[in-house]
Structure formats: C-alpha cells, structure tokens
Amino acid sequence: MKRSISADELRRMYLGFFEQRGHTVISGASLMPQNDPTVLFTTAGMHPLVPYLLGEPHPGGKRLCNVQKCIRTGDIDSVGDTSHLTFFEMLGNWSLGDYFKEEAIRWSYEFLTASECLDFKPDVIYVTVFEGNENAPPDTESVKIWRSLGIPESRILALPMHDNWWGPAGQTGPCGPDTEMFVDTGKPLCGAACRPGCGCGKFFEIWNDVFMQFEKTADGGYRQLKQHNVDTGMGVERTVAMLQGQSTVYDIEMFAPVMDALRTMTKQSAAMDAEQLTTAHRVIADHIRSAVFILGDDHGVKPGNLGQGYVLRRLIRRAVRYARGAGIPQGFGGRLAETLIDQIGATYPELDRNRKTIVSELNAEEEKFAGTLNRGMAELQKVVGNLKNHHQTLLSGRVAFKLYDTYGFPIEFTAEICSEQGLTVDHKGFEKEFKRHQDVSRKGADKIFKGGLADQSEQTTRLHTATHLLHQALRQVLGEHVQQKGSNITADRLRFDFSHPAKVTPEEQTQVEAVVNEQIKRKLPVTMKVGTVEEAVAEGAQALFGSRYDEQVKIYSIGDYSKEVCGGPHVDNTAKLGRFRIVKEEASSAGVRRIRAVIEPPE
C-alpha cells in the first residue's frame, strides 16, 4: 500500500533523496523570468537553467535539485477537470553533463516504489518512451532500462514526438526525448484506444525524465548538444493526489481550505447544476491560487492589458465570472487569498510579505470587472431586443463568443438569459469561434517573441554584457539609488528598467552613452568566479535579487568598472561589444524608468 503523505513531506522527501545522491539543493526561481523575454512566466523547472543545460558551469555543480513554482496557461480551458492547473509546483533533479538515462530512470523507479519513499506498487506503474522519427532514433535504451527494472513490455509504450519529446523553453534551445511515468488509478478503460496520456483519468502522469541530447536551431533543425543532460519534473499536486488516494488534484489537502471556503460562500444558483458548480469551484480555486502567487512573487506584476499583467487579469476575471454564476458574493478573491496565504505562507514566505498587495489588487480587479459585467448585460439585452424586433429566435455563435470574450459571459449564462426570453443560442457557432480563439491562444499563450538569452546567441550575449555596463553607468551619472528593476534582452536590443524618480534628460542620456562606450574602448576583461552572496556584497558587487540566490553564485567582473552577481552568459572582453547607443527612454511604472538600447558596429 502506498504511503499517504502531505505536500510538505513530499518536498522534503524528494530533496533529501537526491541530496543523498550528490545533488545540490538550489532555490526555486521567480515566476517572472529574469533576463529572458522568450516566455511570460517560468513554465518548468528547467526554464531558469537553460544557460547551464547549454554548457555554462553552474555554481552548485553538475547535479542539482529543487522545487520550482510554475505557471502555464496554454491549457487554461481544461482547468476544472481532474488534473489541469495553471499554477503548480514542480520537483526536479538535473544532471548537467554528468549521469544520463541509466541513473535517472533507476532513481525515478526507486523513489516511486521503495517502501521508505513513495511505496507505489510496481504493477500500477506504466511508462512511455519516444518512438523515434526523422530527427532522432527510437529510445530503445530507455526501454531496456525499464525492462531491467521489472516493467513488462505490456506497460512500456512507445509514442510519437507529440507525446514523448520535450521542446525548448523558447523557439530554440535544449530539447530531447523523454520517458514519462504514470500511475494506474484503477478506473476502467474508457475505450479500446485508452492508454497513458489519455484524458479520461485512468492513467495519472506524475513524473517525466527528459534526456536533453539535442539543441533545436533557428532553422528548425536539431543538432547534438556538446553535453548530454537530464531534466526531470514531478508535479507535487498530482503526485500527492495519487499518494492520498484522491481522484482529482482538487481533493488534496493543499486545496481543502480554499474549496471549503468556496462551498461556504456559494449560494444556490439556478444557472448551475451540481457538476457545473464543482467545475466552477475548481476554476476559481486554481485561478485565485495562480493570481496569489503571481502578485506575491517578489518580482510580481499587477493586472494590466499586456503580457504578464494581461494573463493575471484574465485569470482573476475568469474566476469572477465563475463566481458570479455560482452565486458567490463580491469580495471573494481577497478572502480566498487570505485563506491560502495562511495555509502556505510558511513554505512561500514571499506571499506573507506581500499579503497586503495581493489582497488589495484582487479586490480592486474584482470591483473593476463588476462594472464590465454590468455593461455586458446591457449589451446582451440590446442584442435580445434586436432579435425580437426582427422576429428572430437564434442568437449567433459570433455574438455569443463576443459576449464571452469581451464581457466575460460564459455560454451557459448567455443561454440561460436567452431561454428566459424565448431564444436559443447557436452553440455550434460559438464552439467554432471558441476553437479558433483557443488555437491562437495555445500558440502564443506563454511566448512573447523570438530571441532572448535562452538561445545564447552571440549578439544577445553582447547585449547582456552591455546591460551590466549600462547599470553601472546609470549609477555613476544619476546616483547610487539606481537599482535594476527588470531587463528584457533579445538579439536586437536590450530593455532595462531601473529605479529613478524623474525622466532621464537628453544630456544625462548622452553622458550614460559616453560612459558605457568608454568602458568598451578600454577593452576590459570580463571574468567570473564563484562565491557566496555575502562575499560578493563585501567585494562591492551588485546583488539584485538577494532573497533568491543559492549558497554559491557567479560573480562577474568587468575590469575595474562593474561587478554583479549574475548567471551569465557574457563576452570575455568589452572590445567585442561594438558601439552602445540609447534609442529610447520612458516611464515604466511609478518611480521606475526604462531604457532601450542597441549595440552597433564600431565606427
């Protein structure tokens, strides 16, 4: 019989298991990717480690493990089923050019089945492997390893790239075949084609070992990496659900306080039957949880109309929409946030530090959206009136989707109001519009644009080094109050946000440009050493995100001019940069300015 353990126990057990096997426990990264514009949020544990998977030495060594907060919105419309979440915790262990398939699979199997670990019975474990294609051969090695551990052929399935290949975090980068582990829940097969990966809930995926042997290139091809890596991911919520004998992630202790609070808040609503109400509670719980972690991140954002702020706004408003349908009174978001922070604040202290901001932003966005819902109701009543005036009885799918997309009206809500007026809704037309929207959303849900540090390109690396020079030049020209508040670097330009109370004048910009270009002309060497944050600060280095550093960090020095704690990559000499030029200076937010700059060939 498997062990019924809590999320806290699972985290401790996992990290201890791999620490005993030579892994350094590193801290999880921010949900907001630093120095990487290829994605909006940290979507997997490997995402912050891309430079090291491509060959950069990591201060923690070649074996690492951690717990990583993740946000994924590509399947947001699936939230409410048994397993999909937009926020989740990922346990991961990595080999950076050290061990490979044999050790990774053997340790995964041991952690899953050993009595002192998770104690799953071997006969409930199913695995999948990559079947091969024109880009890479079938993963016969993983099959042999699984068979040697006692998994029979009948529970080893070879699947195509869509199922068993882990792509890069951005458009390019490290990737490779994977082997995935599933637990058979005991439910009956949903049909002849039912297998691990089927969405019916019989097979629950809980772990994924990725073998990063390849790098996807800008032309869409694949080439062998100079080092072979292992990147694994075990979802905390899904694993705990299986360990606690629960059929959904929403039934585990991590969700219990929030789900209980939602049931208490809910009033009877004719708009939803029992099944719809269950879905509504799950969506609200997930979306508010995601919003709490985004707002509570030390580099968190606020609801807005672009990028990360837009995703956050969408999550909150989607929760409000479901709450309205379930008869949950206004102000629920802040109350649920308090409940969640009380429960998990000890594990993630940044939530407690930012409690006031989290609650106030949730309440403000909920109140703002209430007005949008009222305007949507007015729009619907106008449409209903026009249909009646023209003796029509069918509201088109296009209009129904507009009400959904613009005003947040779920199709059930629109259909109920239309039914009261003797009208019907074109559900097929709505589904067609919805599917088109969904396809577009999935393609760009977590991406902004090509480029960024994830691809380690030569030009991006130059601009990253130039950002360090810019940071120090701003402190020299404007004052030591200047601190980095964010950066976004592509192969075309750098964007740098920093604290400063006023516009940077044209004269000051010219000064900053001159200072940076002077350091480039000096042909300063760029060197790196490993040390502690305390040692770095004592040496005068800028340590921008102190609460997020591991025990050992990289300290980059640019001659005698700049010293910062940073993950890299960098050029080895400023002579390789070219000419630095500021192209724009503007406000970013209250007390924060933004500079965009480029590197041009030397004159």
What confidence tens digit (pLDDT) does each residue in 248-269 have?
899 999 999 999 999 999 976 5
- How high is the mean pLDDT of the chain? 88
Question: Tell me, what DSSP letter sits at residue 552?
Answer: S
Report the alpha-carbon distance of residue 89 to residue 227 in Å, rounded.
27
Report the alpha-carbon distance of residue 498 to residue 475 in Å, rounded.
10
What values do phi and psi take at 239, rounded to 5?
A: -65, -45
Q: Which residue has the tokens 């719980």?
A: 285
DSSP 462-502: HHHHHHHHHHHHHHHHH-TT--EEEEEE-SS-EEEEEE-SS
Q: Which residue has the tokens 């097979």?
A: 203
The secondary element (H helix, E strand) that includes residue 261 is helix 256-265
Report the alpha-carbon distance of residue 61 to residue 288 in Å, rounded.
37
Instruction: Name the 3-class secondary structure at 31.
Output: coil
pLDDT at residue 1, rounded to an integer: 43
Please tell me the total number of residues recorded for the chain in this structure: 603
Degrees, nearest 5: CA angle 518-519-522:
90
The secondary element (H helix, E strand) that includes residue 367 is helix 355-389
Ranges 99-103, 137-141, 188-192, 443-447: which has the least confidence: 443-447
Report the alpha-carbon distance of residue 313 to residue 557 in Å, rounded.
40
pLDDT at residue 267, rounded to an integer: 75
Residue 536 CA, chain-centre distance (Å), reads 29
What confidence tens digit (pLDDT) does each residue in 375-410 have?
888 888 899 999 999 999 999 999 999 888 777 676
The reply to whether omega before 602 is within 30° of 0 (cis) is no
pLDDT at residue 450, rounded to an integer: 44
Residue 542 has pLDDT above 90, yes or no: no
Q: Tell me if 196 sits within 8 A of 157, measured CB to CB.
A: yes
What confidence tens digit (pLDDT) does each residue in 38-85 have?
678 998 888 888 888 888 899 999 999 999 999 998 878 789 888 899
Instruction: Return the higher-pLDDT residue of 518 and 78.
Output: 518
What confidence tens digit (pLDDT) does each residue in 16-26 have?
999 999 999 99
Residue 270 has pLDDT above 70, yes or no: no
Single-letter amino acid, residue 21: R
Sign of torsion over alpha carbons 332, 333, 339, 340:
positive
Q: Tell me if 395 sits within 8 A of 423, measured CB to CB.
A: yes
Residue 360 has pLDDT above 90, yes or no: yes
The secondary element (H helix, E strand) that includes residue 110 is helix 101-113
pLDDT at residue 452, rounded to an integer: 38
Tokens, residue 520: 């480039």
Residue 587: CB atoms within 10 Å = 12
3-state secondary structure 113-127: HCCCCCCCCHHHEEE
How far lies 9's CA from each of 5, 17, 91, 235, 401, in Å? 6, 12, 12, 14, 44
Closest listed residue to residue 60, CA positions, set 32, 91, 22, 34: 22
- pLDDT-based confidence at residue 502 (cuts at 50, 70, 90): very high
What confidence tens digit (pLDDT) does each residue in 440-460 have?
655 544 444 443 344 567 888
- pLDDT-based confidence at residue 280 (cuts at 50, 70, 90): very high
What is the number of alpha carbons within 13 Å of residue 170 lying toward its C-beta?
A: 26
Report the alpha-carbon distance of residue 373 to residue 198 in Å, rounded.
37
Mean pLDDT: which of 108-117, 302-311, 365-374 is highest? 108-117
**Has this prediction a pTM greater than 0.85?**
no
Closest listed residue to residue 120, CA positions, set 180, 174, 59, 183: 183
Report the alpha-carbon distance of residue 53 to residue 228 in Å, rounded.
8
Report the alpha-carbon distance of residue 45 to residue 90 in Å, rounded.
6
Q: Tell me if 357 sits within 8 A of 295, measured CB to CB.
A: yes
Closest listed residue to residue 162, CA positions, set 147, 178, 150: 178
Alpha helix stretches (DSSP H) within 206-255? 236-243
Tokens, residue 373: 């819902």
Degrees, nearest 5: CA angle 58-63-69:
80
Q: Tell me if 578 sits within 8 A of 462, measured CB to CB.
A: yes
Report the alpha-carbon distance of residue 446 to residue 51 in Å, rounded.
19
Instruction: Name the 3-class secondary structure at 221.
Output: coil
Report the alpha-carbon distance of residue 351 to residue 359 in Å, rounded.
10
Report the alpha-carbon distance of residue 67 to residue 293 in Å, rounded.
14
Question: Tell me, what DSSP letter sits at residue 573?
Answer: B
Residue 587 has pLDDT above 90, yes or no: no
Domains in the chain, please, with CATH? 7-251 (3.30.930.10), 256-444 (no CATH), 457-600 (3.30.980.10)
